[in-house]
Structure 1
Amino acid sequence: MTPTLRDALSTRENALNFVRLVLAAVVIFEHTWIIGGYENAPDIPLASWAVNGFFAISGYLIAGSKMRLGFREYMVHRAFRIFPAYWAVLVLTAFAVAPLASFVGGGQWQLGSALSYVGNNFLLSVSQFGVGETLATAPYPDVWNGSIWTLFFEFVAYIAAGVLLTFAWVRRHALPIVAIGFVGIVAAQILAHGPLEVTTNLFLNLLRFGAFFAAGMLLYFLGPKLRLRNSFAAIAAVLMVLLFAFDLAIWVGQLPFAFLMLWAGGRLPVRIGVKNDVSYGLYIWAFPVQQFVILLGLGGLGPWGTAVLSLLITLALAWGSWKLIEEPTNGLRRKIPKSWLGPRPNNQELARPRPRGITPQS
């Protein structure tokens, strides 16, 4: 029998990390045209949709994490997963990659700018993209990392999901509540770009990423009854093609797109990344590597050549990030005393009908 979505993704033996690895590689390939100053860039915003895929997968996984963990433990897990490798890429870019780039490309590195690059971006809200004049001679100057700005919205989504699913009443009625929230976010996005004419990027990005994240959450709660039939994936794929054809995909394509990402994670017979998840390191390190490859004068390899070279170099750095930073810090969080993290939710209690007037502890 075809497994349900929840059953297929309930263990580590799935292809979700491989899917995220592919999404990170897609971001690298599209950024190549921007960073290298090449002409004839792809017409489809592949990198944007790859990031949308990250948020859809995160929504599914984060919903499951919060249903298992108390709020404090959940937030500790999220912080340990995001910040250590992120801080490492900030520090190494500012004090190793950028100075070396100034030597190679003839730019100027400044200590004060390096310190402010780390300080201004320390808590995920990226407000400084360059380090001195180290990229003055690059085709895409003044931006050392054009990918990490999305991490702020990822962490905001973590907090929002964590707060929402902390309340016992919400947890008992999670499916309809998340469904209503998802529809509300989609409607708000359409109104913001339409009659409301919202121009604030912060608000527009919160709606865009929030819609894909909520789609992943909704599929988590639908997961026990939703089977991963190939026919469902075919229907979702055809629907996405039609939505792209009528320029509606970004407005109402979140749910079928999220299903395709999760279907691939549950059905593909690929186990790359099951034990060593290098997709996060690949995502946060790719942009600095690509800038440095261009500064070395290797742009003559063409967009595909520099993309492949950058991918190989970044994979090595991502492996180092996983082995030296991410995996050890993930293990370190398990050494935090349970008394500091608070109790875990009692899901059996939440699932049991209660006499009128009795409220479970949240």
Structure 2
Amino acid sequence: MPVDNSAERTQEIRPVKYAKAETGFAWLRLIGASMVVVEHSFPLVDPQRLTILPASWDLSPGYFALMGFFAMSGFQITDSWARDASWWRYAAKRVLRIWPPLLVVVMFTAFVIGPLVTVLDASEYWTDTATWGYVVHNAALYPLQHLLPGVFAENPYPWSANGSLWTLPMETTGYALVLVAGLTGLLGRARAGLFALLAGIVVLDGFLGATYTFQGRGGSLLSVPVGAMVAFGVAFVIGMVMHRYHGTIPLSRAAAYAGVAVYLVVNFVPVLQPCARIVLPFAAGYGAIVWAHHWPRRLARYDKWVYGSYGMYIWAMPVQQLIVFAGVRNSYLLMALALPLAYACGLLSWQLVEIPTQRLRVYLRPQPKSPRNVRPRDSVSGRGAHRRERTGV
């Protein structure tokens, strides 16, 4: 899951009547994380059923949400580079955003949940190298390790203690792509090259053919399915393009809804259906960015309750597996129980882990300009500097 929801300031390219863009992004991420919880409630009870919708529809709301996540990340992470084009500060910010919450959930799963639910006895569990490998591998992200010894072994879906983590290596690959693009000028004067990058990745995606039911051709690299990574990469690059051309590409709600309508029509018309997977990242990616910039201003007062989407996303599956372990075998009951519990975990992660670690960014601020380059107003009164600090510019 696309995951940088740290309320960084994005380009303000919407009328005043709408909420700030980061508020819209935060709400959409929370809605998307909830959609993923809903989707996972079905295969965790019946592995043959992958989505809440009938299989004949060939639609997955959760997969649509993931495409939106990646597009939003592409937009917001590109904005982070645009505001501070320092490779080491950029990398440090990404580390502070991704890893602290990840380390907490990985260690809690291995050291608290695991011993409670494993079918192995305590000595076997703690001496098994896979127990410690789960923490090391998932903390490194490459390669991921989905299994803990004997954990959830008798659940209907025994193949992963936390399958949601599978998108995080793809997310960090997107971060590396932004870094390379920034260092090579693709996010600056050579931004037209982003269209060549997008065209290339779309062609590669067409060859690999990943969908929500098929991880695509191309095998895997360090446990990451190459086809799926490329498919989500299309949405990520769309976000990059939309940021760099924010003054040129219109953010039209009508176009966003039309994109979703086109995707649905293409998906349900048999002769056009092969094109649906190509339309999907454009419909989901463009739509997510447009809706974020047109979020109702009246909802901004509640934004402190919606920044826990990353924690919700990475905690939801262990929570769901525990509920199934307790005996729940109805997908809708699992959904009803898991949504509020996962949301609570997300809020706790935001308050206890993410906010404290985000405060460390104060040490990553760019060095102030030399006196000869500072306007008199800034050097005398400090008002300009204060404004930059307050808005996060």
Indicate whether 1:166 and 2:172 are aligned. Answer: no
Match of 1:359 in 2: none
**Distance change in 2, residues 1:114/1:38 (3 Å):** closer
**Partner SS for 1:148:** helix
**Equivalents in 2 of 1:335, 1:10: separation in Å?**
29
**Equivalents in 2 of 1:130, 1:328: separation in Å?**
30
* Structure 1 alignment gaps of length 5 or more: 347-362
Indicate whether 1:240 and 2:263 are aligned. Answer: yes
**Equivalents in 1 of 2:37, 2:196: separation in Å?**
35
Match of 1:311 in 2: 339
- CA deviation after TM superposition for structure 1 residue 30, in Å: 0.9
* Structure 2 alignment gaps of length 5 or more: 1-10, 211-215, 374-393
Runs of 4+, deviation exceeding 4 Å: 9-13, 38-41, 106-109, 336-339
Which residue of 133, 141, 144 maps to 2:161? 144
Deviations 1:111-130 (A, max 9, x none): 13321210122211243212
Match of 2:252 in 1: 229
**Equivalents in 1 of 2:188, 2:305: separation in Å?**
31
Contact 1:59–1:213 (Cα < 8 Å) also in 2 = yes
Contact 1:182–1:211 (Cα < 8 Å) also in 2 = yes
Contact 2:21–2:293 (Cα < 8 Å) also in 1 = no
Match of 1:7 in 2: 13
Amino acid at match of 1:204: G
Match of 2:44 in 1: 35
**Distance change in 2, residues 1:207/1:334 (3 Å):** same
Match of 2:308 in 1: 278
| Bigger relative contact order, structure 1 or 2 (CA pairs below 8 A, ≥6 apart) | 1
Indicate whether 1:210 and 2:210 are aligned. Answer: no
**Paired residues for 1:255-334 under 5 Å:** 255-269=282-296, 270-271=299-300, 272-273=302-303, 277-299=307-329, 302-334=330-362
**Partner SS for 2:142:** coil
**Equivalents in 2 of 1:6, 1:178: separation in Å?**
22
**Distance change in 2, residues 1:10/1:79 (3 Å):** farther
Deviations 1:42-62 (A, max 9, x none): 332232222111101101111
Contact 1:28–1:287 (Cα < 8 Å) also in 2 = yes
- CA deviation after TM superposition for structure 1 residue 337, in Å: 7.0
Amino acid at match of 2:308: V
Which residue of 67, 72, 94 maps to 1:57? 72
Q: Could you say what the CA RMSD is over the residues aligned between the two structures, in angstroms?
A: 2.7
Contact 1:108–1:133 (Cα < 8 Å) also in 2 = no
Amino acid at match of 1:186: V
- CA deviation after TM superposition for structure 1 residue 268, in Å: 2.7
Match of 1:46 in 2: 61
Deviations 1:296-331 (A, max 9, x none): 1133xx211211211111111111111111111011
Match of 2:115 in 1: 99
**Equivalents in 1 of 2:365, 2:66: separation in Å?**
35
Contact 1:59–1:215 (Cα < 8 Å) also in 2 = yes
The number of aligned residues is 331
Q: TM-score, normalised by structure 2?
A: 0.77
Q: TM-score, normalised by structure 1?
A: 0.83
**Equivalents in 1 of 2:19, 2:363: separation in Å?**
24
**Equivalents in 2 of 1:283, 1:55: separation in Å?**
14
